[in-house]
Structure 1
Amino acid sequence: MKTLQNLIGGKWEDSQSSTLHDLVNPATEDVIARYPGGSPDDVDRAVDAAVEAQPGWAELPVAERVEHLTRWAVEIADHAEELAELECQEMGKPVALGRSFIDGGVQGFRTAVEEALTYPFVETLPGADGGGTTILRHPLGATAVITPWNFPVPMVLGALGPLLASGNTVVVKPSERSPLSTARLFELSTLPPGVVNLVLGDARAGAPLVEHDQIRLVHFTGSVEAGRRIGAGTGGRLCRSILELGGKDPVVVDSGVDPVATAAAIAFGAFVNTGQICTSMERIYVHQDIAEAFVGALVDAASTYALGDGHDAETVLGPLVDARQRDIVHRHVTDAVERGARVHTGGVVPKRKGFFYPATVLTDVDDSMLVMTEETFGPIAPVVVVSSFEEGLERASSSRFALGATVYTHNPDHAAAAAGIPAGVTWINQWQGGGPERLYEPAGDSGMGATGARAAYDAATRPATIHTAPATVSTPS
């Protein structure tokens, strides 16, 4: 039985914690590894290593840092299948799906890193007084990245690129629910010692990391409750934070679209990765003119999401990450049914080993139900029939979450009106569309801190201005 270790200053070492936890495969319920509970001592050592390594890393020319990071990206790409297998073991994602997201994560990492070659770390401007102004964008120092369990490898890569390319060093703490693939990712590191460090554990590692007085930025993806605590703590000590928290993403379906094709697209957005995506489609508002055909097609699409172990090529829907998450999902469905919702398919915990839950379609839902107000993070598609596109937009905008939104319409005026949804990203006619130039900031309970493209470099650096006035030479009398 493998016991996972921390990576500190380029060396793998056991945690100072005396507590070990079992890591369970959610499809088989077998123990596949053990990981430490974490300790402040681990965090202190990792932060010290990051602080020590940071000046030397920052002194490297930008092109040399990019070369180091690109070399690591090549190594990761060469092991993408292995990393996808590990993600499947630890959190249930089908291997083929995991591989596609890891491939995308590596490409995104490379694109973000290459952005450093054109980012204005040094910018010289003419001064109005005849002098000159230079804007320097300095790295922050040692930073912390805390990642969630639903996309272990891609989420680490998404956070690290701009931080490292800017000259910062990083301590990463992955979710204790999926540390296996992240540990392997760091085994593949080709970076100088201390540039990236890994500490494992639960809140006993996470809390001291985000509270550490030598950490200059905290990049956190996770729950609203934890994000609030982190934001309050970092704000109190004037440390930057980037917080991507929960989502309850709406979908608005206009009357003029093909109900069958749109239902198939929405089924993917609601059920892929077993609904365990921050931008999963969790509230569906469909125009009454096509509602009956749409719901029928959505139920048909749900039936194609076969449950099973992600190593099986026939599997489309893997298990939820653990029993706790399945309990949350089923509680939302049960609450909806008790309040009058109708289950068209799914909604029953399968009698089999593993933490599986079927693709589920609900109608007759309303805003009194948990499934419409709280993040479900499971394969549930609740459908609300609306009388107009305008009603759909209004209801889509009425949430304390504001991460993403999707609108399906063939009406140009309606497409333009979709920009009014208070979301960080709004997709029109294609969920998850767009490229690496995407720039966004969540709002409300979904978090804070702009990211993507150059905004990620702005967040990873501190600008300073140096103004040089014209030299004056006095004339001897």
Structure 2
Amino acid sequence: MQTLQHLIGGVWEDSSDDAYTDVVDPATEEVVARAPAGSPDDVDRAVAAAVRAQPAWAALPVHERVARISAWADAVAEHAGELAELECREMGKPVGIGRTFVAGAAAGLKEAAGQALSYRFEDTVDGPEGSTTRILRHPLGATAVITPWNFPVAMVLGALGPLLAAGNTVVVKPSERSPLSAVRLFELLDLPPGVVNLVLGDARAGAPLAGHDRIRLVHFTGSVDAGRKVAADAGGKLHRTVLELGGKDPVVVDAGVDPKATAAAVAFGAFLNTGQICTSMERIYVHQDIADAFVDALAEAAAAYQAGDGRREDVMMGPLVDERQRAIVRRHVADAVERGAKIRAGGVEPDGKGYFYPATVLTDVDESMLVMREETFGPLAPVVVVPSFEEGLERAGRSRYGLAATVYTNDDDHVAAAARLPAGVVWVNQWQGGGPERLYEPAGDSGMGATGSTAAYDAATRPAAVHIAARPAS
């Protein structure tokens, strides 16, 4: 059984503490590795390495930094299959799906780093009486990236491009539930020692990293409760935070759309990665005119998402990450049924090993139920029938979350109205998607700090103004 190590200053090291946690394969419930639980001393050593490496990294020309990052992205793409197999082993994602996401994340890293070549790290503006002002955007220094377990590789790579290309160094702390792929990801790393460091562990590593005196920015993706703690720890040091937290994303299905095709799209948005995506479709509002046909088609589509071991190529949906997550799904279904909801598909937990739960469709739900109020992070599709598109849109906006939302409609006025949804991203007639220039900031309890495109570079740099007065005439 593998015992994992930290990567600090380019060297793989054991933890300074003797506490370890087990990494469990969620399909078999077998322990597959031991990982350090983490400690403040581990964090101190990693941050010190990042601080030491930062001046030399920032001194490299931008194009050299971009070239080094791009070469790493190419190596990741070449090992996409291997990394996907590790993700499957640690958190259950089917290998075929994981391979696609890893390859996409590698391409995204390359693209995000490449944006540094056109980003204005320096600008000059004319002032009064012949003066000029130089606007310089300096790197922040040593930064922290704390990532969740549901997309172990993609979440790390998605944060690193702008931070590294802008001249910062990074300490990465992945979730203790999915460290295997992170270790392999950094074995492929070919950057100067200390530019990227890896500290494994749970809150015993995460808390001291988020509140470390020498960390200048914390990029955190995770739960709302943990995000509040990260923001408080970093805020106490007056350090920046970029937070992408929980979601309870709605989808509004208008009259006039093809109910069967739309149901297939919604099933994909609800059940992909066993519903363990922050932007999963977790609240579905469908117009009464097509509700019967839509629900029938959604239940039929759910039956195609048979849960199984993701190492099999025919499996579309793997297990949940662990029993703790499955218990949340179980509790949401039980609460809904107790309050009057009906199960149209799934809902029966299978026997045997593995943290499996079937793709489940619920009807007759309302906002009093946990499944409509709290983030589920599981393969549930709760459906509410509404009398009009306007009511669907209004009810979709009734949430403390505001990460993303999706609308399906053929009505131009309703397309325009979709922009009113209080969410960082609104997709119309397609879940996911968006070009490289997309930028957004989550609304409500779903986070803070704009990200994407130039916003990511703005967050990764500190602007300074150098005012130069006109020389007096000789």
Question: Fold-level match, TM-score > 0.5?
Answer: yes
The equivalences for 1:45-444 within 5 A come to 45-444=45-444
- Quote how far apart the aligned CAs of 1:473 are: 4.9
Unaligned runs of 5+ in 1: none
RMSD: 0.7
1:11-64 deviation line (CA, Å, top 9, x unaligned): 000011211111110001111111011100000000000000000000000011
* Contact persistence 1:306–1:314 (CA under 8 A): no
* Contact persistence 1:286–1:384 (CA under 8 A): yes
Give the length in aligned residue pairs.
474
Identical-residue share of aligned pairs (%)? 72
- Quote how far apart the aligned CAs of 1:352 are: 1.7
Matched letter for residue 403 of structure 1: L
Matched letter for residue 437 of structure 1: E
1:374-418 deviation line (CA, Å, top 9, x unaligned): 000000000000000000000000000000000000000001000
* Contact persistence 1:423–1:442 (CA under 8 A): yes
* Contact persistence 2:76–2:103 (CA under 8 A): no
* Contact persistence 1:176–1:200 (CA under 8 A): yes
Instruction: Establish whether residue 15 from structure 1 lines up as the match of residue 3 from structure 2.
Output: no
1:392 aligns to what SS in structure 2? Answer: helix
- Equivalent-residue separation in structure 1 for 2:129 and 2:84 (angstroms): 58
- Equivalent-residue separation in structure 2 for 1:146 and 1:233 (angstroms): 13
Instruction: Establish whether residue 32 from structure 1 lines up as the match of residue 35 from structure 2.
Output: no
- Quote how far apart the aligned CAs of 1:236 are: 2.1
1:102 aligns to what SS in structure 2? Answer: helix
- Equivalent-residue separation in structure 2 for 1:152 and 1:287 (angstroms): 37
Give the TM-score of the pair, scaled to structure 2: 0.99
- Quote how far apart the aligned CAs of 1:232 are: 1.6
- Quote how far apart the aligned CAs of 1:347 are: 1.1
- Quote how far apart the aligned CAs of 1:179 are: 0.5
1:240-297 deviation line (CA, Å, top 9, x unaligned): 0000000000000000100000000000000000000000000000000000000000
* Contact persistence 2:102–2:153 (CA under 8 A): yes
2:448 counterpart residue number: 448
2:410 aligns to what SS in structure 1? Answer: coil
- Equivalent-residue separation in structure 1 for 2:389 and 2:262 (angstroms): 15
Matched letter for residue 250 of structure 1: P
- Equivalent-residue separation in structure 2 for 1:434 and 1:174 (angstroms): 26
- Equivalent-residue separation in structure 2 for 1:422 and 1:345 (angstroms): 30
* Contact persistence 1:224–1:245 (CA under 8 A): yes
Matched letter for residue 457 of structure 2: Y
2:366 aligns to what SS in structure 1? Answer: coil
- Equivalent-residue separation in structure 2 for 1:128 and 1:408 (angstroms): 52
Give the TM-score of the pair, scaled to structure 1: 0.99
* Contact persistence 2:307–2:356 (CA under 8 A): yes
* Contact persistence 2:322–2:355 (CA under 8 A): yes
1:129 aligns to what SS in structure 2? Answer: helix
- Equivalent-residue separation in structure 2 for 1:307 and 1:158 (angstroms): 28
* Contact persistence 1:271–1:317 (CA under 8 A): yes
- Equivalent-residue separation in structure 2 for 1:212 and 1:264 (angstroms): 46
